[in-house]
């Protein structure tokens, strides 16, 4: 490892997103504290697949020593989960998340994304295509075929196991939220996958918020949050989606925009950064970012209200984009603390990625599964019946891994657990 020099972009990269973000590279002192926080380094045992190694590769690109067309270089950026575990481990404040997104945006200007990624990003960008795709997925889930296919070897079965893992959140509401006369008005970012495949969790989110004194308001016209596009380097698409959402949430008049999907919440809070170069939208983006909250933050701000007993042994697995990107750590634990009867057990490396990372598990399945296997072994060792998280990608990844591997534990959304607790408090005959 060579000592860092001041980063001066080569002529070939001048004006690119990487050149604009390049000053962040100079903060790296090559101490290596980030290595043990990096799931791909731990899984692949290659310095080039570590944060420190990738920063060196970025510098090489920027200075013209390495080429964007060299696949032996770019593959190490493709293998990055974007989990930002390295960012919270770094004592020097290297803005790794900004740097990897800038690198990917620069790469996207010079080479096409993989066909699978292009297809998925296109679907998520176009509301009609997305509605159709999610309807087909729900219909497929209803037939029971994915449950059968989930038993095949993991290489072929995993997408079916992910779909099957979204089943089972069909509990009917069995309590009436406390009446809210006044209280902060909140608009839910319904989310593509959450509303399309996990709508019961969205309804549970509305109930638990209402039960804690929040008034729900509609925000019609909202679209995909744009996180998948931003993380893949398709910045124009992410910006287009961000503008639509900012307008929708402004119209709603909500005091807070709330999400139950950590990845979506992370990009909402970064809309200001995403639209920093757009003078017409920068301030509006800043306003929405400042009002965005994870559901656990709003619940924790109200206590949250305690529920009835749920007897289970649970382990909290922090979504990376909640813990590392949003730096929200305590609120989910406060929510678990409001549920009597739970036995919360520690999960080793609960702050490390499960290998989901947006569409990573579909475009980099081998590395994703290696990272997942470590997580599944930790879950088994914890003795938990339920592994609790709060991001649809994580829940589908964990759920599919647990299902296809025949593990005892099941994955559940934090909000569904609190909702079950409120239902238990109300008793079996409440409506």
- Is residue 342 at the binding interface for ligand SF4, with CB under 6 A as the rule? no
| Long-range pairs for 68-74: beta carbons < 8 A, 24 or more residues apart | 68/13, 68/106, 68/107, 68/110, 68/111, 69/110, 69/111, 74/107, 74/111
Name the one range near ligand SF4 by CB under 6 A: 92-100, 126-134, 234-242, 376-384: 92-100
- Measured from the CB of residue 36, what is the shortest distance to ligand SF4 in angstroms? 10
Block residue for tokens 């209402």: 210
Using CB under 6 A as the binding rule, whether residue 86 contacts ligand SF4 is answered as: yes
Nearest to 261 by CA among 390, 169, 351, 162: 390
Residue with smaller CB distance to ligand SF4, 80 or 415 = 80
CB of 4 to ligand SF4, least distance (A): 9
Q: Pick from 81, 257, 300, 315: which binds ligand SF4 (CB under 6 A)?
A: 81
Q: Given candidates 84, 125, 203, 369, which one binds ligand SF4 under the rule CB under 6 A?
A: 84
- Among 83, 113, 162, 328, which residue sits at the site for ligand SF4 (rule: CB under 6 A)? 83
User: Is 363 an interacting residue with respect to ligand SF4 (CB under 6 A)?
Assistant: no
**Rounded Cα–Cα distance for residues 67 and 73 (Å):** 8
Distance CA 395, CA 165 (A): 8
Q: Which is nearer to ligand SF4, 201 or 352 (CB)?
A: 352
Note whether 54 binds ligand SF4 by CB under 6 A. Answer: yes
Contact present, 290 and 271 (Cβ < 8 Å):
no
Q: For residues 371 and 349, what is the distance between their CA atoms, to the nearest angstrom?
A: 12
Q: Does 237 bind ligand SF4 (CB under 6 A)?
A: no
Nearest CB to ligand SF4, comparing residues 252 and 326: 326
Q: Say whether residue 199 binds ligand SF4 (CB under 6 A).
A: no
* Least distance in angstroms from the C-beta of 52 to ligand SF4: 4
CB of 35 to ligand SF4, least distance (A): 7
Residue 96 binds ligand SF4, judged by CB under 6 A: yes
Q: Which stretch binds ligand SF4 (CB under 6 A): 46-54, 156-164, 378-386, 411-419?
A: 46-54
> Which of 92, 330 has the CB closer to ligand SF4?
92
- Provide the minimum distance between the beta carbon of 41 and ligand SF4 in the complex, in angstroms, as a whole number: 6
Minimum CB distance to ligand SF4 smaller for 51 or for 191: 51
Under the binding rule (CB under 6 A), the answer on residue 394 touching ligand SF4 is no
Binding status of residue 46 toward ligand SF4 by CB under 6 A: no
Using CB under 6 A as the binding rule, whether residue 61 contacts ligand SF4 is answered as: no
Complex with ligand SF4: residue 54 or 229, whichever CB lies closer: 54
Comparison of 354 and 411: residue with beta carbon closer to ligand SF4: 354
The CB-of-93 to ligand SF4 minimum distance in angstroms stands at 8
Asked if residue 391 binds ligand SF4 (CB under 6 A), the reply is no
Binding span for ligand SF4 by CB under 6 A among 79-87, 176-184, 185-193, 379-387: 79-87
Residue 54 vs 141, nearer CB to ligand SF4: 54
Total of residues contacting ligand SF4 (CB under 6 A): 27
CA distance 101 to 78: 11
Q: Which of 66, 90, 227, 402 binds ligand SF4 (CB under 6 A)?
A: 90
Residues 4-43 that bind ligand SF4 (CB under 6 A): 28-34, 37-40
Which parts of this chain interact with ligand SF4 (CB under 6 A)?
28-34, 37-40, 51-52, 54-55, 80-86, 89-90, 92, 94, 96
């Amino acid at each position: 490892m060579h000592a860092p020099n001041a980063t001066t972009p080569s002529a070939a990269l001048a004006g690119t997103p990487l050149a604009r973000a390049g000053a962040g590279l100079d903060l790296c002192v090559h101490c290596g504290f980030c290595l043990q926080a990096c799931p791909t380094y731990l899984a692949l045992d290659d310095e080039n697949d570590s944060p420190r190694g990738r920063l060196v590769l970025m510098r090489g690109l920027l200075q013209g020593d390495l080429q964007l067309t060299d696949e032996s270089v770019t593959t190490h950026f493709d293998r990055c989960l974007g989990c930002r575990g390295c960012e919270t481990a770094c004592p020097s404040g290297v803005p790794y998340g900004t740097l990897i997104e800038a690198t990917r945006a620069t790469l996207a200007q010079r080479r096409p994304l993989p066909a699978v990624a292009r297809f998925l990003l296109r679907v998520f960008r176009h509301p009609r295509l997305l509605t159709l795709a999610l309807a087909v997925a729900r219909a497929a889930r209803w037939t029971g075929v994915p449950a059968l296919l989930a038993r095949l070897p993991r290489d072929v079965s995993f997408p079916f196991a992910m779909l099957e893992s979204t089943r089972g959140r069909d509990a009917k509401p069995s309590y009436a939220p406390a009446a809210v006369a006044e209280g902060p008005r909140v608009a839910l970012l319904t989310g593509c996958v959450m509303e399309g495949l996990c709508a019961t969790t969205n309804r549970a989110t509305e109930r638990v918020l209402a039960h804690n004194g929040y008034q729900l308001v509609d925000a019609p016209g909202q679209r995909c949050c744009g996180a998948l596009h931003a993380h893949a380097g398709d910045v124009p698409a992410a910006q287009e989606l961000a503008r639509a959402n900012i307008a929708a949430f402004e119209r709603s008049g909500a005091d807070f925009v709330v999400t139950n999907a950590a990845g979506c919440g992370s990009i909402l809070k970064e809309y200001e950064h995403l639209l920093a170069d757009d003078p017409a939208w920068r301030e509006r983006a800043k306003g929405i970012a400042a009002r965005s909250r994870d559901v656990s933050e709003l619940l924790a701000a109200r206590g949250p209200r305690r529920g009835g007993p749920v007897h289970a042994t649970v382990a909290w697995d922090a979504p990376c984009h909640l813990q590392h990107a949003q730096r929200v750590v305590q609120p989910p634990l406060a929510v678990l603390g409001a549920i009597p009867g739970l036995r919360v057990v520690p999960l080793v490396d609960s702050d490390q990625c499960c290998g989901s990372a947006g569409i990573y598990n579909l475009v980099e399945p081998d590395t994703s599964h290696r990272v997942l296997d470590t997580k599944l072994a930790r879950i088994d060792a914890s003795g938990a019946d339920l592994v609790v998280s709060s991001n649809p990608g994580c829940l589908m990844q964990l759920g599919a891994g647990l299902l296809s591997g025949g593990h005892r534990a099941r994955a559940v959304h934090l909000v569904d657990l609190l909702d079950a607790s409120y239902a238990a408090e109300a008793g079996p005959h409440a409506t």
